[in-house]
Each structure stands twice: as C-alpha cells, then as structure tokens.
Structure 1
Amino acid sequence: MERDSDTTSERTRREYLRYGGAVVAGGLLAGCSSDSDGGSAADETGTGDGSASAETASDADTTDGGSYSVTMSPVGTVAFESPPETVFTRLTHHADMAFALGRGDGITAMHAPDYYDGLWNQYVERLPGVSLDWTGLYSSWKPSKEQLYALDSDVHLADPAWITQLDKWSQSDIEEIAENVSPWFGNSLSDIHREPTGEWAADYEYYGLWEQFELVAEAFRERARYEELAAVNERLRSTIEADLPPESERPTAVMIAAADIEEIYTYTMNTPGFLTAHTRPLGPHDAFEGSVESNSVIDFETLLEADPDVILHLGGMEPETDMAERRAAFEEDPVTSEIAAVKNGRVYAQGARYQGPILNLFQLEMTAKQLYPDVFGEWPTYEEGPYPEIPTEEQLFDRQRVSDAIRGNV
C-alpha cells in the first residue's frame, strides 16, 4: 500500500540501505525491441567509446561488516550497510546480473517473467548444478509505485532515468521510493546509448555490459564472483579476437524478430550499447548497409533486396517458438526463398538482446559459430529444446567454471 506524505519520515526495515551523496537529480519483445538507436568491442570490456568512466572503488568503509558505497550513473553514490538480498528488476540484463551473483532466488520482479524464465532456462540447462525459476514474479515493464512498496525489495536494480519516462512516475516518486523502500541502482539507457530526459540529461554516463556488471557486483559485495566470470569472458573474447577473419571474409547478416512471419522487425548489430554485446565483437557486415534503422518493420522484398548471408532470429530459443516452422515459412515463400541465408540453411535461433553476463557468454559462443562455422565450429541445426550440447573440445567457454561462480565456489 502506498505511504502518504505523513509517513515519508518513517524508517522502514531497510534502514541499513540508504542513499549517500544526494544524487537523484538528474511489449513482450522488450528483449528484442524498444529501439531508437543510439562502437567498438571495448564497449563491453571497458569504458566503450569514452563517453563513460566507471567508478568501481567504494567510497566508504569496505571492510567486512562495514558500510560501503558504490557510484553509478545516473543514481550517483549509493551507500549500503550490508549487501542486498531481495532485488527488484525491470529489464533482463539486470535480472541476469543478480542471477550471476547468486541472487537469482531473491529477484522480486522483472519484465515478462514467465517468457524470460523459459528463455533463460534454455541456457541454464547447460550449467551443471545451477537452476533458475522466475515464474510468477511481478511483471514490471510498467511498475506501479504501490507495488514497489508491497514488494519491499532491498534494492531496485533499475534505471530511474527510464522509469521517469513512464506515465505516472515523477522525480518525486523516485525519491520517495528511494527514501521509504530502498535505493535505485541501475543503468538501462546504455542499451543503445538512448538519450535521457529531464533532470537526468546533464551527467548521464553510458556503460558496457561487463562494465556495469562490475559496479553491480560491488553493490552486492560479490567481487570474487565477478572476477571469476570476467576472467571467463576475457578468455572467450580473446579466443574470438585471435581467430576473427579479416573484414573482407566476413558475412553479411541481419538480426530480426517476429511474433509471426508476417511482421518482421530488424535490429542493428554493430552500433554502440550493450544490446549488441554479442554481435558487435564479431563484426558481421550489415546487409542493409545502414539503410534500415533499428527496430524497423520490414517486408519480404526489403529482406530479399538486402540478401543476407546469415539471418539471426531473436527469440528463436524461446520454448514456444518453433524454429523449424519459421525456417519452413521462409523456404516456402516465393520471395524469401530466394534469400542467400534461406537457400543455404543459415537462419539461426538467437536469444535476447537485454542480456546480462551469463546470457552474453552463451550468445557470444553461439553467434561466433553461426557467423564463422569454419573458424569456431559448426552451430548444430536447432529446432527446439535447450541450448545444444556442444562437444567439450568445441566449447568456447568453460561451463563448469561459470556454474561454480554462480554457486559461489570461487
């Protein structure tokens, strides 16, 4: 139940989580839509294009059991007395981060929880000893202030600069939740380097996926888990970069999403932001050559004119998506059947763009195999079920090491 102004001075049970620094100034395919497009591979390992510089050092006492603080745009410096256990999220890149840091069971809300539970579990199936259950959570695409009070989460791993762009949310509402429930600590406009609005516009910084994950790990006091997963990522990226073919030998590709085959959305693959964290490092050529904006609806004729060597189908790994049926629809249509990717059997399933570190590892591996099978090994023909079994010698990252990190065995 919403607390009125007479109760704003009362302390909740979350007195141990507080803002420091006074810096709050400033549909289903959300995992593959909501664009108005904002790079280099450095965007996912460091400060990207130079527009952001992460502060990973705590500003207060960081000894075990002591208070500590972490700084992230746009919320500024947030002080904690102890690590959060229950976590509100809005988008799945934050839910994946909490999961990677051993807080998967503490998530209280996320966008389209049943859909993304099904999708993420396709990948988690390949992590021994790890499980995930997001079914039945509060769906937070358009959260209500009253529900945030009811959830009473220890931290809101969500971007207040985006929340205030929603109807019924004001700057004062953001401050009220931070004061009476728990802090905001998240950055989402880095997805495509989206422009902030209002009071957030002046000092907003953009982060790469793993750069932001490091800050979230600091907030949860999970440095060891982060470092282990970051080491896996670094090794994977080094493997890819060492063997990546020269630009002249790279295929043309498009990334699409389609609730049904009659309405096709397309998305860029090399632009800045963490939504391209699994494609930009691989450097495929845009089959549209920049002529089609991200999140555009295209017809079959436009797709044929681009004639990509590879089609990456977002959401194709989701359990309710029938990839065999999707491929057949392309093969049987007189227009799309002439596309090189269709003729050569290179229409591949993908997961989601709002990826956190765990999904990013899998999607880097699968996309490398889909784009460059002669270099990184063939991607198995996928129709349904979990992420395919890849022979150990052909895996590009160590599943057991990732599992151990999630479970805290580091």
Structure 2
Amino acid sequence: MRDTPTRRTYLKRASAVAAAGLVAGCSGDTDASAGQSSSTDSTGTETTTEAETTNETDTETDTQESYTASMRPMGEVTFDAVPEDVFAVFPQYADMAVALGHGDALNAVYVPEMSGTTMNHYYERLDGVSFDWEGLVDPLADGLGKEMLFELDSDVHLADPAWVSTQEGWDAADADELGAQVAPWFGNFYSGTNGSPPEGYRDGYDYYTLWDMFGHVADVFRERERYEALRAVHEDLVSTIRSNLPPKEDRPTAVRATYSAGNETFWTYHLNEPGYWLADTRPLGATDAFADQNWSGLWGTVDFEALAEADPDVILHLWGMTPNYSMEETMSALRDHPVGSQLTAVEEGRVYPAGMRYQGPIMNLFQLEMGAKQLYPEQFGEWPEYTDGEPYPEIPEEERLFSRADVAGAVNGDL
C-alpha cells in the first residue's frame, strides 16, 4: 500500500493548490448537480448479476496476495491490498464503507456535514457505530477536480467512471487515465434510476439493486461475512414488511416530495419505479399519487394546485431528516398556505420526514422501517414524533422491525 497523505494533510495542500489557481470546476453543491440531471428514466426491469458478487479471495492467508472484485461498468478490478484510503462521492458508498467496518478509510463524501450528520442520525441507535465526517473533502464543492483526486492519492475511487466522464472537464479518456495513474474506479451511478449511461458505456452496462451493489463493494474490502450478515437482516425486514402489507386497495396514496419554499413548488419523485434511489419506498408498495406522471426522470416539479389535485393521504418529505431541512418550518409553511392547509395529509398530520435517496445499506434499513410505520401504522406501529436535528427516534424494542444488535454486531465485526 502506498504511503498516502491523510485527509487533513490534503486540506492543507489543497489550499496551496487552489491559491495557485490549479483547482478548477463548476459548483456541485446542489442536489441537481449531484446527479439529478445526469440520468433519465428507464422502463427496463432492474437486473442483477449474482455471479459477479462471488468473491474468490475470502480465505485468509498469512501473506498478502492480490485479489479481484467485479462490477459493471468497470468489469474485474485487481487489488494488491485492502484499500486504506477511500474516495467516495455519494453517501451510499460512505454508508457501505461504515457498514463493512472501513468508515475510517474514507477521505471524501458529498457535503460531509449533511451526509455525515444524517448517517449519524441513524447510527445513534447502533451501539459502537459512528462516522467521523469532520475534515472530509467535499468532492463536488468546486466540481470534480482532477488535481484533487491526484492529491488525495486514494487506493480506490467509489464512483462510476461513466458518471465521472459526464462531469465538467472530464471525458471517458480522462476517467480511464486517472483510474490507471491513481487508483481504480468502482461504482455504478445509473442503477440509481436505471437510467441510460452516456454513449460509450452503454454496451454491457448492468443495473444492480442496492444490496447487490453493496455485495460488490464488500468484495473490494474483503468483507463478505459482514455483508452476508447485514443482507440477512435486510431480507428478514423486507419479508416482514411484505407479509404484513394490507391489500392494495386498502393502501394509502402517497407522494415523495421536497418542498421548495422560495417558489412554492415541490420536487416530486415516484415511489415504485426501478433503481436503488427507491430502495426504501418500492418494497412498501404504497399507491403512488403521481404514478401517471411521465417526468423526464424519476422526478418532476409540481405546484400546490397539482398537489391538491392528487391530494395524497401521506407526504413523505425527502431530506426531512437531514440538517438541510426543517420539518417544523415546512409544516408551518404548509399550514399557513391557503391551498396547502387543505391537503388531506396536512389536515390529518401525515406529512413525515424521510431520509435521503443516496442511501447505503444501514440507512436503507432505517428508512424502510421509518416508511413502513409512516404509511401503515396499524400494521407496523405508529411513527413517533420527530424533532428537527435529533437522531432517528428511539423505538421500543418490541416495536422495531429489525434488530439493532444484529446490525451493530455485523458492523463491529462481532459475528
């Protein structure tokens, strides 16, 4: 393993680089630039490639030897040692690293304070699990800069080279060059929506579920045992939810939306389409109040009148559990609005905080439980009151839908 600089060393060096005018790129700190406009919806069925999830190097040896991990679009990637410096853009990969016991290896994540705080809101309920995000680099703060990646000198880049090739100042050749000179890419962005990757990457591009993708990342860290333990928890949780769902005709109508107070509109998202961005809503099977809307991707914008026409029973406010939004202010704005105040979800107090669509495996477990209680309180128990800025609410043990001890044990290596 190379002698790499720490992330704090990088921060000092990056300041000098920036002063010299070498770091360049467009602003990337908005939700849209973080991928919202980079892909389009696909009607294709989500596919998995279970054969690729097999890691042939789980056997411990006394001497270090190379091993491989495989995922499209990269194909088979060879590692000389388990990565000790790990670059991630989106927090689903950071959550995967934490879940596999390698959170300390991370040197970057998108908007660290937002991502890290949100992740720790969930980790608060897991003994011995936390994420130290302070000092991490925000990879999109000034655009995805090549100089930044050279300076970080990571052992692996948990990002999709197809997506990287679409960023300002990048093309496929740039992505290939950096992957060869610094460290390999290992990510799959377009499975988030099953959207179409850029030309040049479309042949052989596979779509993965969140948990299959997590399995491939587990192979990078040689952590199949942790992965299998967590996947078992997920499979049990999904089985519990599906076996207790009411008949379709008795399920509530719902929207997944983010309120933009500045222009009184809502970013809206489908609930049941393919892609790992919907890994926390699709298993819940609620009736999508905007299912007939054909947006350019999985999202669109609607005004109060359009939302009132759909009039969902439940509004799941995406980003509501992050520090970027105040549910108290959102509810106050809805109640004070002449149309918003008449929405059924507002009148009945069924506007709930939701998490992030950039969810990794641990986040997914909590967000599935959260959504099940918000949508189906009679089947899964009431969702407790949530206070802005607080961790995920403490739920009595008998009302939990998955074992916190089993998750914490897997993360902490107590298997």
Q: For this structure pair, what is the TM-score category when the shorter chain's length is used for normalisation?
A: 0.7 to 0.9
Correspondence 1:151-166 to 2 at 5 A: 151-166=152-167
Residue 165 (structure 2) pairs with residue 168 (structure 1): no
SS in 1 for 2:53: coil
Correspondence 1:380-391 to 2 at 5 A: 380-384=384-388, 385-391=390-396
Q: Is the 8 A contact 2:77 2:184 kept in 1?
A: yes
CA distance change for structure 1 residues 224 and 39 in 2, over 3 Å: closer, same or farther? farther
Higher mean C-alpha displacement, 161-170 vs 324-333: 324-333
Aligned to 2:25: none
Q: Is the 8 A contact 2:55 2:224 kept in 1?
A: no
How far 1:66 moved relative to its partner? 2.6
d(CA) in 1 for partners of 2:359 and 2:58? 32
- Aligned match for 1:409, one of 387, 407, 414: 414
How far 1:145 moved relative to its partner? 1.0
How far 1:194 moved relative to its partner? 1.5
Correspondence 1:88-167 to 2 at 5 A: 88-141=87-140, 142-167=143-168
d(CA) in 2 for partners of 1:50 and 1:219? 21
Paired amino acid for 2:192: D
Q: Is the 8 A contact 1:39 1:49 kept in 2?
A: no
Q: Is the 8 A contact 1:61 1:68 kept in 2?
A: no
d(CA) in 2 for partners of 1:367 and 1:227? 24
Correspondence 1:206-225 to 2 at 5 A: 206-225=207-226
- Aligned match for 2:53, one of 38, 53, 56: 56
SS in 2 for 1:177: helix
SS in 1 for 2:394: coil
How far 1:78 moved relative to its partner? 0.3
CA distance change for structure 1 residues 381 and 32 in 2, over 3 Å: closer, same or farther? farther
SS in 1 for 2:241: helix
Map Cα deviations across residues 14-59 of structure 1 (whole Å, 9 max, x no partner): 9xxxxxxxxxxxx43368944633399xxxxxxx634755512246
How far 1:284 moved relative to its partner? 0.8
d(CA) in 1 for partners of 2:3 and 2:65? 18
Residue 301 (structure 2) pairs with residue 297 (structure 1): yes
Paired amino acid for 2:52: E
Residue 278 (structure 2) pairs with residue 279 (structure 1): no
Task: Quote the sequence identity (%).
Answer: 48
Paired amino acid for 2:207: Y
Aligned to 1:362: 366
Map Cα deviations across residues 253-288 of structure 1 (whole Å, 9 max, x no partner): 000113436232001111100000000001111112
Map Cα deviations across residues 141-178 of structure 1 (whole Å, 9 max, x no partner): 33211111100111001100000011111222222222
Q: Is the 8 A contact 1:304 1:339 kept in 2?
A: yes
TM-score by length of 1: 0.88
Aligned to 1:80: 79
The unaligned stretches of length 5 or more in structure 1 are 1-10, 15-26, 41-47
d(CA) in 1 for partners of 2:40 and 2:198? 14
Aligned to 2:313: 309
d(CA) in 2 for partners of 1:114 and 1:38? 32
Q: Is the 8 A contact 1:311 1:348 kept in 2?
A: yes
Paired amino acid for 1:254: V
CA distance change for structure 1 residues 52 and 221 in 2, over 3 Å: closer, same or farther? closer
The unaligned stretches of length 5 or more in structure 2 are 5-28
Paired amino acid for 2:132: D
Aligned to 1:238: 239
Q: Is the 8 A contact 1:71 1:78 kept in 2?
A: yes
TM-score by length of 2: 0.87
SS in 1 for 2:31: helix
SS in 2 for 1:329: helix
Runs of 4+ in structure 1 over 6 Å off: none
- Aligned match for 1:341, one of 338, 341, 345: 345
